[in-house]
Amino acid sequence: MNVVVVEDEAKIAAFVARGLEAHGFNVLVAGDGPSGLRLALDPEVDLVVLDLILPGLDGTEVLTRLREHRPQVPVIVLTAKDAVADRVANLNAGADDYLTKPFSFSELLARIHARLRAGTQTAATVLHQGRVTLDLHAHTAEVDGGAVGLSPREFRLLETFLRHPGQVLSQAQLLDRVWGYDFDPESNVAEVYVGYLRRKLGADVIETVRGVGYRFRG
């Protein structure tokens, strides 16, 4: 993981950098706002630790400009400014977390891990298994790179299969997760929609496990 530390106090920057490197992070340090922004804009950077009082460009402006180009990269503000107004202003500007000096390195590390975990969970909006790709935000499906049109219910059924790769799902499980409680557990609607998906994705994409349910093969 690549972390940029934007901090003009050399001792604090070195302290944070050494601690993060000891925990396996690759760390780049910038001592002013313009160079910090330049480093943070690199798409390979996974997280930014940002001071607010910086030469050249203050931290809030760095944050605002960064959010215009990289809205998803986690930013933890680390600053001596402890007023509620400063905290609110920077959280509204796009900061993911706010830690005031003096600080505990263990707390900073825990917050970094939490933000990276949250970023990973948020990023999981594209599901891919075998030849099939599902984009949950764009609500699109592809097989071997070609677009496939799905109804909302077909899309939800395919999403359910992709979230449980290799797992056999019973008709009752599919009814519960895709149709909810409105459908009779004896209904064959899941079987019907599995048939629809097979016609659109390929007959071998979903396997029938007799007496148990269905397994997505991709």
> pLDDT tens-digit profile of 196-208?
999 999 999 999 9
Binning pLDDT at 50, 70 and 90, where does residue 182 land? Answer: low
Share of the chain above pLDDT 90, in %: 54
Measured between alpha carbons, how far is residue 31 from residues 1, 5, 39, 105 in Å?
21, 8, 11, 19
| pLDDT higher than threshold 80 for residue 121 | no
pLDDT at position 21 is: 95
**180 pLDDT band (50/70/90 cuts)?**
low
84-116, pLDDT tens digit by residue? Answer: 888 888 888 888 899 999 999 999 999 999 888
| Highest mean pLDDT (candidates 16-25, 144-153, 182-191) | 16-25
Taking the C-alpha atoms of residue 198 and residue 187, their distance in angstroms, rounded to an integer, is 19
Q: What is the pLDDT of residue 85?
A: 85
Lowest model confidence (mean pLDDT) among 14-28, 50-64, 81-95: 81-95
Would strands 132-135 and 126-129 be described as parallel, antiparallel, or unpaired? Answer: antiparallel
Task: Identify the structural domains of the chain with CATH numbers, from first to last.
Answer: 2-123 (3.40.50.2300), 126-216 (1.10.10.10)
Q: Rounded to the nearest 10 degrees, how much is the dihedral formed by the CA atoms of 30, 32, 35, 38? A: 90
For 24, counting Cβ atoms within 10 Å of its Cβ (0-12 exposed, 13-18 middle, 19+ buried), the class is exposed
Average pLDDT over residues 41-51: 93
Q: Give the pTM.
A: 0.57
Q: What is the reported pLDDT for 34? A: 96
Q: How far apart are CA 142 and CA 24, in angstroms?
A: 37
Taking all residues of the chain, what is their mean pLDDT, rounded to a whole number?
Answer: 88
